A = this chain, B = another copy of it.
Amino acid sequence: MKKAVPRPQRDTARAIYDAAVDLFHEQGYRATNLRQIADAVGVQVGSLYNYMSSKERLLFEIMRGVMTDLVQGATAELDGVDDPLERVHRFMDHSIRFHGHRQKEVFIGNTELRSLSPARRRAIVELRDRYQALLVDALTDAAEAGQVAVADVRVTAYAGLAICSHAATWYREGGRLDLDEVARCLAQSFAPLARPVADRVS
């Protein structure tokens, strides 16, 4: 009677992941129900449970995946770079690009922390803290080396992180500027990386 035929060549697990990313990004985790995800995949609700153990677990996988990639990417980017200010620059550049490329997942990661159980939230927060520490440390070194003058390293770092994560909310691929230009302009908007403007009036 009904076609319980698995579509050939279809990776359902991946399709579920992608649909969840899209919908969580568009509507938020709480506002998205599993029937919407099932529809997007082209499957019945119950079938989702062949691939996941719970809705919250699905959210967690998304967040852990993107945060892990973010930490590893930034760490790799800084590897072998000694100059502190250059480290700050690399961090910002990589972060902005990452937030542009994986904007939906990053946005979910920044937004849905509250939707996780305490234990899972703790795991994500730990990744986030490791990521943020990379900038705080680089900035601290740069300040000690006299490369930048900041009133407070931690607060300044928050400003830099804000610039990066905010990009995930407004950047659109194919927009007026490409990611290269956006990354350059945003990085320069962060005071420690601003080129000294010789001709600046006062």
Contacts and interface: CB of A to CB of B under 8 A. Distances in A.
A150 B188 contact: yes
Q: Is the interface of A mostly helix, strand, loop or mixed?
A: helix
A175 B149 CA distance: 22
Interface of A: 26-28, 30-31, 85, 111, 114-115, 145-152, 154-156, 158-163, 165-167, 170, 176-177, 181-182, 184-186, 188-197, 199-202
Contact of A166 (B114, B162, B193): B162
Nearest to A151: B185
Contacts of A182: 155
A48 to B, nearest CB: 20
A135 to B, nearest CB: 12
A28 B159 contact: no
A162 B171 CA distance: 13
A115 B30 CA distance: 10
